[in-house]
Amino acid sequence: MKTEVYLIEGMHCAACSAAVERVTRKLEGVSRSDVNLTTNRMTIEYDEAKVTPEQIIAKVEKAGFGARQMDAGRDERRDLDEREKEQEAAFRRERNGIIAALALAAALLYVSMGSMFGAPLPDIIDMHTHAVNFAVVQLMLSTVIMYIGRRFYVSGFKALRHLNPNMDSLVAIGSAAAFIYSVVTLFRLTDDPSLVHDGLYFESAAVVVTLVSLGKHMESSSKHKTTGAIRKLMALTPDTAILRGEGGSLTEVPTDILRVGDVVLVRPGERVPLDGEVVEGEGGVDESMLTGESLPVDKAPGSEVIGGSIGVNGSLYVRVTRVGADTTLSKIIKIVEDAQGKKAPISKIADKVAGVFVPVVMAIALLAAAIWLLAGEPLSFVLKVFTSVLVIACPCAMGLATPTAIVVGTGLGAQNGILIKSGEALETLHSVDTAVLDKTGTVTEGKPAVTDVLCAGAERAELLSVASAVEAVSAHPLAEAVMRAAGEEGVCNSAPVTEFENLSGRGLSARLGGLRVLVGSRRLMEESGVDVSPLAPEAERLSGEGKTVMFVAREGALLGALAVSDPVRGGSAAAIARLKELGLRVVLLTGDNRRAADYIGSRVGADEVIAEVLPGDKADVVRSIQERGGRVIMVGDGINDAPALTQADVGCAVGGGSDIAIESADVVLMKDDLGDVARAVRLSRLTITNIKENLFWAFCYNTIGIPIAAGVLWPFFEILLSPMLGALAMSLSSVCVVGNALRLRGKKL
């Protein structure tokens, strides 16, 4: 199966996107086709042996729309810039046309309805003395307005011809019917001037087009804001970089020509052009736009830097390690774009309704017109009902309800260093009730550290010096922790190490400067006749906390002991408390021994601790929770977490984890901050609440508006909705849905 993305042109409402989905899903070999009305993109999955891109494009074009394949190898930023320029030019043209239409519509309303309010008109176009002239002026003004809004007629009747009627079809049919009726009346005015009072609807036809155009313009402006996160991310890569050439010469070059291995200079205030490794210099780098981390991160030779981050202080020479689609920024953009292109399950309701909405509305309009005609109402009344029903109906609000909220929600997440890979993951995340957290590297730092130094026959510095000298020869995982602790305190021992021996399961034995040194367990000390009783109670307490205690002795005399463990991350307890506040049950999962796991679990406040789990069994633990009815978010960072991440309802990988874990996860946290798990859950809940609000108002608007337009209130209260008010209400409904989605951008996570 192959997955591709196409840019769809000519879509104006949910009925359009539903039509594109419908025709492409009918192609043999197509397993999935999702169209996002907000981004105008179609994500399609198909069997290359059964269908070709040319057939897909032909099918979309036959339905009345344009389609072009988005080139995966193309420079996304350049492609975005070109589309931005095209959209900006089209936006300006549309705005100028709407300004002209509004001015002409105001003049038309003055001419057609001014006399009702005593507004003066020249006698030559007065409805009482020159009825034909009065009608001709309205004809000319409305014709110009309808020409300005001609895209409704071109698109609407084209969609109707292809049997895929859309919102434009409703506007086109309704306004055209009012216009044609008014033209016929104009020709009858010479025989019956009294028709001028209740037979001209030029203003309805023209003002409907004007108001709908204004609403669509406002909607486009708002939709443009929803994709702001992607544009901001793409703008992070600088256009130029300072390349260091042979001999140390510095040259400003386009970022596009940089290759892996090139060395660039990043000065304070400048952006890092591409992912790389610092080879010279030290300084802080602001990575907040990519990770959400507010504080600058210190960099030194050997440190990795992310393209798009900003140098805060100190100049850095950076060797480029990744370019093009391989950079962190490109991958982030790809994840966000993919998420915005994939539909959440909640959107299926709106999609089903939108697919049949326009034909149903057209049927209701015809039925209402027929009923009122049979009831004996005049043709002018029937026309008003017919037009009002057509123009008040709004499939756009339903079609925009889900994608706009998902686009804004995933964009907000990206700005906070939370990457959600799909709309489905975003929806599922709001309903999780159990958080399963891998201990090592997620709740804890993931690397051993010396947490306690117990002195007996030596001072702290001497104890660390002796222990690190012997451990330097060892390959034991705990050796690095001891050497790192000695290095941090600036102690070292230059005495030669001889007769080194690794005593399996007990510790190390060696001669340091000719003196016998032992580093290891209590058992080793007792076997060697070393008295550990002075430190025994404290050592027992530390062992009870799951720490590994290493005693150090020299020539049979106890020098002290070092306790080593994987320390808890600073924010883990607060992060777990936040998850519990959100109503989640927290399970700590680890392969460590029960005593160490229980101690860590009690420290961070986990509800349940599952210890001594083999790497291959983690997915089984998640499955057992699901079988008991739990909806699980699994959080991990290692390769052995990948099966569990895939098994969980939502898999969440911390950014510092392995590539395999990140690939397997539905949510990626760019920062190594467990608190972002709770933020991701809150983001999901805010987004789903927003979608439900949008869907409620969209359905509610149409459920109430269409019957009123059809005239259900007329027999009781003689209230009849005019086509102009219907057009205004329809336009505002779409704008309100998009505006409600934009409220998410101001939410705190």
CA-to-CA distance for 603 and 35, rounded, in angstroms? 48
pLDDT computed for residue 448 by the predictor: 84
pLDDT computed for residue 736 by the predictor: 85
Task: Indicate whether 657 pLDDT > 50.
Answer: no
**Residue 293 binned pLDDT confidence (cut-offs 50, 70, 90):** low
pLDDT computed for residue 658 by the predictor: 45
Phi, psi of 488 (to 5 degrees): -65, -30
CATH (one of 3.30.70.1560, 2.40.10.480, 2.70.150.10, 1.10.10.10) for 259-322: 2.70.150.10
Question: Token digits for 704?
Answer: 């109430």
From the CB of residue 128, how many other CB atoms can be counted at a distance below 10 Å?
12
CA-to-CA distance for 249 and 242, rounded, in angstroms? 10
Question: Which residues are catalytic, by number?
Answer: 438
Whether 167 and 396 have beta carbons less than 8 Å apart is answered as yes
What separation, in Å, do the N-terminal and C-terminal C-alpha atoms of the chain show? 37
Whether 519 and 478 have beta carbons less than 8 Å apart is answered as no
For the ranges 216-230, 504-518, 527-541, the lowest mean pLDDT is seen at 216-230
Q: Give residue-wise pLDDT tens across range 49-71.
A: 899 999 999 999 988 888 988 76
- Better-predicted residue by pLDDT, 235 or 142: 142
CA-to-CA distance for 100 and 103, rounded, in angstroms? 5
Task: Indicate whether 661 pLDDT > 70.
Answer: no
- Better-predicted residue by pLDDT, 205 or 486: 486
Whether 152 and 174 have beta carbons less than 8 Å apart is answered as no
Q: Give residue-wise pLDDT tens across range 514-568.
A: 899 999 888 899 989 999 999 999 998 888 877 889 999 999 999 999 998 888 8
pTM (whole model) above 0.75: no
Looking at domain 449-565, its CATH class is: alpha beta
Which of 296, 287, 293 minimizes the C-alpha distance to 329? 287
For the segment 717-724, the average pLDDT, to the nearest whole number, is: 83
pLDDT computed for residue 71 by the predictor: 62
Q: Give residue-wise pLDDT tens across range 144-193.
A: 999 999 988 988 888 888 887 877 888 888 888 888 888 888 888 887 78
Task: Indicate whether 693 pLDDT > 60.
Answer: yes
CA-to-CA distance for 365 and 638, rounded, in angstroms? 60
**Residue 198 binned pLDDT confidence (cut-offs 50, 70, 90):** low
pLDDT computed for residue 350 by the predictor: 66
Question: Token digits for 558?
Answer: 């106890």
Question: Which residues have C-beta within 8 Å of that of residue 601, sequence separation ≥ 6?
Answer: 588, 608, 609
Percentage, residues of the chain above pLDDT 70: 90
For the segment 43-47, the average pLDDT, to the nearest whole number, is: 91
Tell me how far CA of residue 443 lies from CA of 297, 380, 493, 545, in angstroms: 21, 73, 34, 16
**Residue 682 binned pLDDT confidence (cut-offs 50, 70, 90):** very high
Question: Which residues have C-beta within 8 Å of that of residue 156, sequence separation ≥ 6?
Answer: 165, 166, 168, 169, 170, 171, 172, 173
Task: Indicate whether 663 pLDDT > 90.
Answer: no
Q: Give residue-wise pLDDT tens across range 300-354.
A: 899 889 888 888 888 999 999 998 878 888 877 777 777 666 666 776 676 677 6
CA-to-CA distance for 640 and 646, rounded, in angstroms? 11
pLDDT computed for residue 225 by the predictor: 66
Task: Indicate whether 632 pLDDT > 80.
Answer: yes
Indicate the CATH number for domain 2-57: 3.30.70.100
Q: Give residue-wise pLDDT tens across range 306-316.
A: 888 888 888 99
CA-to-CA distance for 479 and 151, rounded, in angstroms? 74
Percentage, residues of the chain above pLDDT 90: 29
Which of 202, 143, 194, 156 minimizes the C-alpha distance to 178? 202
Task: Indicate whether 297 pLDDT > 60.
Answer: yes
pLDDT computed for residue 73 by the predictor: 46
Task: Indicate whether 458 pLDDT > 90.
Answer: no
From the CB of residue 199, how many other CB atoms can be counted at a distance below 10 Å?
20
Tell me how far CA of residue 679 lies from CA of 310, 409, 581, 746, in angstroms: 25, 12, 12, 14
Whether 410 and 338 have beta carbons less than 8 Å apart is answered as no
Which of 529, 364, 14, 26 minimizes the C-alpha distance to 372? 364
pLDDT computed for residue 535 by the predictor: 92
pLDDT computed for residue 24 by the predictor: 93
Place of tokens 């600058």: 296
Whether 686 and 670 have beta carbons less than 8 Å apart is answered as no
pLDDT computed for residue 622 by the predictor: 92
Task: Indicate whether 631 pLDDT > 60.
Answer: yes
The type of residue at 375 is A
Q: Give residue-wise pLDDT tens across range 61-103.
A: 988 888 988 765 445 555 556 666 777 787 888 889 989 999 9
Whether 604 and 576 have beta carbons less than 8 Å apart is answered as yes
Q: Rg of the chain over CA atoms, in angstroms?
A: 35
CA-to-CA distance for 157 and 192, rounded, in angstroms? 33
Question: Token digits for 126?
Answer: 């007065």
- Better-predicted residue by pLDDT, 271 or 726: 271
Looking at the structure, give the CATH architecture of the domain made up of residues 420-445+569-676: 3-Layer(aba) Sandwich (3.40)
Domain boundaries, the chain: 2-57, 81-228+337-406+691-746, 259-322, 420-445+569-676, 449-565
Task: Indicate whether 249 pLDDT > 60.
Answer: yes
pLDDT computed for residue 334 by the predictor: 75
- Category of 375 on φ-ψ map: left (φ > 0), alpha (ψ -120 to 50) or beta: alpha
pLDDT computed for residue 316 by the predictor: 92
Strand (E) or helix (H) holding 254: strand 250-254
